[in-house]
């Protein structure tokens, strides 16, 4: 039976997950907190218990949003943190408002939830960064 990771909530190793038996497409793996899964509670027969079995070299895409006060070198400082954490950014979109508030949306390749937590902790320490956090496709603002 084919298995795929849901794009709506982008589960990564370490997340609490559940499988949803789709019609004709196999099993779709979602985070337990995914709004799409919460809405499917009326069909419990299609939900199955699943667990993680991943290779240490496998990477998973996660969307991150960073809010900061814009300044010269801000993006470079953030990218330096990603490089130090051995993290590839597959997409970066930055927007700056008139009040100099910058919103940076990134898609990052990460190993697991611990790796993501480490990245967010370090990015949150970058000068002028107000917050850095994981988002789902529905929550993403800057990129969409």
From first to last of its 144 residues, the chain has per-residue pLDDT tens of: 788 888 888 898 889 999 998 888 889 999 988 888 877 767 788 888 898 887 767 888 999 999 999 999 999 999 999 999 999 999 999 999 999 999 999 999 999 999 999 999 999 999 999 999 999 865 544 444
CA distances from 27 to 2, 19, 112, 121 (A): 6, 6, 21, 33
120 and 94 fall within a common domain? yes
- Tell me, yes or no, whether 142 lies in a domain: no
- Tell me, yes or no, whether 53 lies in a domain: no
- Tell me, yes or no, whether 54 lies in a domain: no
Q: Name the residue among 45, 22, 17, 49 with its Cα closest to residue 33.
A: 17
64 and 130 fall within a common domain? yes
Domain hosting residue 42, numbered range: 3-48
- Tell me, yes or no, whether 15 lies in a domain: yes
Look at the alpha carbons of 5, 118, 75, 126 in this order and tell me if their dihedral is positive or negative.
positive
Q: Name the residue among 138, 128, 136, 137 with its Cα closest to residue 103.
A: 128
What's the total number of domains in the chain? Answer: 2
**Structure-token match 């199955």, residue found:** 48
64 and 44 fall within a common domain? no
- Distance (Å, rounded) from C-alpha 79 to C-alpha 85? 10
């Amino acid at each position: 039976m084919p298995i795929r990771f849901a794009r709506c909530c982008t589960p990564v190793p370490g997340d609490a997950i559940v499988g949803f038996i789709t019609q004709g497409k196999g099993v779709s793996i979602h985070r337990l907190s995914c709004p799409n899964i919460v809405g499917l509670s009326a069909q419990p027969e299609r939900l199955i218990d699943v667990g993680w079995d991943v290779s240490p070299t496998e990477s998973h895409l996660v969307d991150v949003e960073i809010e900061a006060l814009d300044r010269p070198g801000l993006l470079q400082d953030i990218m330096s943190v990603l490089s130090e954490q051995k993290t590839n950014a597959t997409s970066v979109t930055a927007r700056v408002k008139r009040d100099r508030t910058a919103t940076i949306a990134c898609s990052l390749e990460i190993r697991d939830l611990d790796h993501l937590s480490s990245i967010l902790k370090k990015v949150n320490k970058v000068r002028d960064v107000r917050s850095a956090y994981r988002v789902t496709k529905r929550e993403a603002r800057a990129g969409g």
